[in-house]
A and B are shown apart, each in its own frame.
Chain A
Amino acid sequence: MPDFWIKLWEWSPKILSTLLNATAMTVMVTLGALVVALVLGLVVVLMRISPLKVLRYPALAYTDVMRGTPALVQLFIIYFGLSDLGLEFDPISAAIVGLGMNGAAYVGEVYRAGIEAIHKGQVEAALALGMSPARAMRYIILPQALRLMLPPLCNYAILLVKDTAIISTIAAPEIMFEARRMVQATFMYAISGQIYLFCAVFYLALTLPLSQVAKRLEKARERWR
Chain B
Amino acid sequence: MKPLLRIVDLHKSFGTLEVLTGISIEVAKGEKLSIIGPSGSGKTTLLRCINYLEKPTSGHIYIDDELIGEKKADGKYVRLSDRELAKERAEIGFVFQRFNLFPHLTALDNVGVAPRRVLGLEKRDAEEHAMAMLEKVGLAHKAEEFPERLSGGQQQRVAIARVLAMQPKLMLFDEATSALDPELIGEVLKVIRELADEGRTMLMVTHEIHFAEEISDRVIFMDGGNIVEEGPPTEMFSNPAHERTRLFLRQILDR
Contacts and interface: CB of A to CB of B under 8 A. Distances in A.
Contacts of B53: 124, 127-128
B146 interface: yes
Contacts of A125: 94, 96, 100-102, 159
B171 to A, nearest CB: 11
Contacts of B94: 125, 128
Contacts, number: 67
B162 A124 contact: no
Interface stretch (B34-42, B80-88, B226-234): B80-88
A135 B118 contact: yes
B116 to A, nearest CB: 9
Interface in A119-178: 119, 121-122, 124-133, 135, 139-140, 143-144, 147
Given A121-B98, A128-B94, A144-B104, A135 B117 contact: yes
A128 B148 contact: no
Contacts of B148: 224
B104 A132 contact: no
Contacts of B159: 125
Q: Which of B91, B117, B118 has the most CB of A within 10 A?
A: B117
Interface in B220-247: none
Interface string B74-110: 0000000011001101111110101011111000000
Nearest to B98: A121
B114 interface: yes
Given A124-B53, A139-B113, A224-B146, A130 B118 contact: yes
Interface residues of A, number: 21
Contacts of B92: 128
29 contacts: A119-B100, A121-B96, A121-B98, A121-B100, A122-B100, A122-B102, A124-B96, A125-B94, A125-B100, A125-B159, A128-B51, A128-B93, A128-B96, A129-B114, A129-B162, A130-B89, A130-B118, A131-B114, A131-B118, A132-B82, A133-B82, A139-B113, A139-B117, A140-B102, A144-B102, A144-B103, A144-B104, A147-B104, A224-B146
Interface of B: 51, 53, 82-83, 86-87, 89-94, 96, 98, 100-104, 113-114, 117-118, 146, 148, 159, 162-163, 166
Given A124-B100, A144-B104, 5 more contacts: A125-B101, A128-B93, A129-B118, A139-B113, A224-B103
- The 5 nearest A-B residue pairs measured at CB: A130-B90, A125-B100, A129-B114, A128-B94, A121-B100
